[in-house]
Structure 1
Amino acid sequence: MLKVEALQQSVDLISTPVAAEVSTHATTKPAGSMAAQFETLLLSTEDNITTICLNRPQKKNAISVMMYSEIIEALRLAGKDESIITVITGSGDYYCSGNDLTNFVTTKVTRSRVEQTDEEFLSMFRDFVRAFIDFPKPLIAVVNGPAVGVAVTLLGLFDTVYATDRATFHTPFTKLGMFPEGCSSYTFPRMMGAAKASEMLLFGRKLSAAEAREQGLVTDVFPDSTFQAEVWRRLKAYAQLPRNSLVLSKQLMRSHYREKLHAVNDRECEVVAGLQQSEECMNAVVSFLQSKSKL
């Protein structure tokens, strides 16, 4: 049986504060007017575009519990404002390194709270994915660097995905004793076929930006040196299109499989709930954190 002490040591090691790295690939997006204040996000609106920027660059934009909650709220606000399109991107060198595993294993340390904490987290995660499924406007991912885990699997719920040529896409769920999330068990086979989806989701094959485009995960890829300029030029042109037409067109396209996505999300959360209670998952996560702490 996995020792609680070993689990706590892993959390302590990997949670040691680190200085924020100086990025050579800082996100250059319109500053805009701030729609709301968040601790882990930058939310702004300019030129009919609402931008949600993941803002934990010192942690490679890993999604903490707070960030999950704030993304839900940011999507709610963006869905109701007067902008035409909504963009999600990351600050610093990474788009997003996926779920912050230190938050996950911390819930395991206090055994008396684990069931309640896991139930609350999974309920929030279910709502998190629902916010993407039900988002009413065109939602575009601007992948400014490597993407890992749920940051990748969620891309199947975006309407368009643009990536820099230095981006990579990695879904190491089974290595961590976990299960793919974000409706990817449905969207990935639908986009790239069962064999390619299995190679990525089951066996953790990392894709380059060019490979992701070939397999339908990414819409277009741009050279890193011109990525921001080219993408934002295109986005500003999209933001001049008629708002109601875009919204109604998206709703019609999504209506054919919206119920299916909700059912998939519910089922994935059920499977994740079972796996997170397993010793296999806990051992895999701790092993990963311990190896990471030695780097």
Structure 2
Amino acid sequence: MSENIIITREGRVVTLTIARVEKKNALTQEMYGAMADALEAYAESDADRALVITGAGDMFTAGNDLKDFAKGDRETGVPPVWRFLHAIRDCPKPVIAAVNGPGIGIGLTMLLHCDLVYAGESATLGVPFVKLGLVPEAGSSLLLPAAVGMAVANDMLLAGRTLSAGEAERFGLVARVFPDAELMGAVREIARGVAASAPVAMKLSKGLIRQGREAVADSMAAESKLFAAQLQGPEFAESVAAMGEKRAPDYG
């Protein structure tokens, strides 16, 4: 478990809150492990019928904690980040996102695996992987173009474009945008409605909607190999060094 991942329950609704406010809710491997545990438990639970992911404070998540990732994988077997991605991809029950502020990197790509995505008006979404010497992850090289179109996806993945909440709604990344102060209340109401629906019909419907997504697993596997290689390469090392020294990276 992680003190930075808070799990609460209200009736049949589970809420997973990313709570590392002092670090802009940046995610560590320990936090990914806790989120994977929560998603796996939710998938197996007969009592829980909807799960909401949100962030504490005014940030959804700044993405990966780069210093934590720079230390390298200290575990054997499947790294916690991949456990989390597999768990959110394969969850048979509804996963709902309440994007309460900036969602960077995996703060956007995890949304591609959520069933219902809502945002506060101050939310922004970006995937600056190339600027960090990294490559797309979580199947985003496949799912983001499918969601927003190739031109916009390239603008985001290659040129580093960040979308406002309104743009994200217009391009179909989020279903609805609410005033910040109303976001969680609105999402909780939606989640209660989802949780009150017929559970077997809900699972079957989610399965039908996701038909034809077999290529996602292949995309994620290909991305993960390249992502892991880049983590050990000179471009990512330069990105981390430049960030620590508060300068622009020099890739030569």
Which one-letter code corresponds to 2:210 in the other structure? Answer: R
CA contact (8 A) 1:118 1:273 kept: no
CA contact (8 A) 1:126 1:266 kept: no
Q: Which residue of 2 aligns with 1:217?
A: 173
Which one-letter code corresponds to 1:171 in the other structure? Answer: V
Q: Which residue of 2 aligns with 1:133?
A: 89
Using the alignment, how far apart are the partners of 1:215 and 1:280 within structure 2? 31
CA apart distance, 1:59: 1.3
CA apart distance, 1:121: 8.7
Q: Which residue of 2 aligns with 1:182?
A: 138
Within the alignment, does 1:53 sit opposite 2:17 as a pair? yes
Q: Which residue of 2 aligns with 1:20?
A: none
1:77 pairs, out of 41, 60, 67, with 41
Using the alignment, how far apart are the partners of 1:53 and 1:279 within structure 2? 34
Q: Which residue of 2 aligns with 1:291?
A: 246
CA contact (8 A) 1:177 1:285 kept: no
CA contact (8 A) 1:176 1:281 kept: yes
Which one-letter code corresponds to 2:169 in the other structure? Answer: R
1:92 pairs, out of 53, 57, 77, with 57
Larger Cα Rg: Structure 1 or Structure 2?
1
CA contact (8 A) 1:143 1:162 kept: yes
CA apart distance, 1:79: 1.0
Question: What CA deviation, in whole Å up to 9, does each residue of 1:199-257 have, x standing for no partner?
Answer: 01111111100001111111110011322222222222222111111011112222421
Structure 2: stretches of 5+ with no match in the other structure: 248-252
SS in structure 1 at match of 2:97: strand
CA contact (8 A) 2:112 2:144 kept: yes
CA apart distance, 1:52: 1.0
Q: Which residue of 2 aligns with 1:249?
A: 205
2:151 pairs, out of 195, 199, 207, with 195
Q: Which residue of 2 aligns with 1:269?
A: 224
Using the alignment, how far apart are the partners of 1:38 and 1:77 within structure 2? 15
SS in structure 1 at match of 2:172: coil
CA apart distance, 1:133: 1.1
Which one-letter code corresponds to 2:236 in the other structure? Answer: C
Q: Which residue of 2 aligns with 1:22?
A: none
Structure 1: stretches of 5+ with no match in the other structure: 1-36, 108-116
Distance 1:120 1:204, change over 3 A: farther
Question: What CA deviation, in whole Å up to 9, does each residue of 1:155-181 have, x standing for no partner?
Answer: 111111000000111211111111111
Q: TM-score, normalised by structure 2?
A: 0.92
Using the alignment, how far apart are the partners of 1:210 and 1:91 within structure 2? 21
CA contact (8 A) 1:49 1:85 kept: yes
Deviates more, 1:283-292 or 1:77-86: 283-292
2:163 pairs, out of 207, 220, 226, with 207
Question: What CA deviation, in whole Å up to 9, does each residue of 1:12-41 have, x standing for no partner?
Answer: xxxxxxxxxxxxxxxxxxxxxxxxx64221
Distance 1:77 1:93, change over 3 A: same
% identical aligned pairs: 36
Q: Which residue of 2 aligns with 1:16?
A: none
Deviates more, 1:228-237 or 1:128-137: 228-237
Using the alignment, how far apart are the partners of 1:118 and 1:177 within structure 2? 21
CA contact (8 A) 1:126 1:265 kept: no
Using the alignment, how far apart are the partners of 1:182 and 1:167 within structure 2? 20
SS in structure 2 at match of 1:75: helix
CA apart distance, 1:198: 0.5
CA apart distance, 1:263: 0.8
1:105 pairs, out of 57, 61, 70, with 70
Q: Which residue of 1 aligns with 2:29?
A: 65
Using the alignment, how far apart are the partners of 1:189 and 1:99 within structure 2? 22
Alignment of 1:109-120 (within 5 A): 117=73, 120=76
Which one-letter code corresponds to 1:250 in the other structure? Answer: K
Q: Which residue of 2 aligns with 1:153?
A: 109
CA apart distance, 1:134: 0.5
Using the alignment, how far apart are the partners of 1:121 and 1:179 within structure 2? 22
CA contact (8 A) 1:192 1:217 kept: yes
Moved over 6 A (4+): none
Q: TM-score, normalised by structure 1?
A: 0.79
Which one-letter code corresponds to 1:52 in the other structure? Answer: L
CA apart distance, 1:119: 7.9
**RMSD of aligned C-alpha atoms?**
1.8
Using the alignment, how far apart are the partners of 1:94 and 1:253 within structure 2? 30
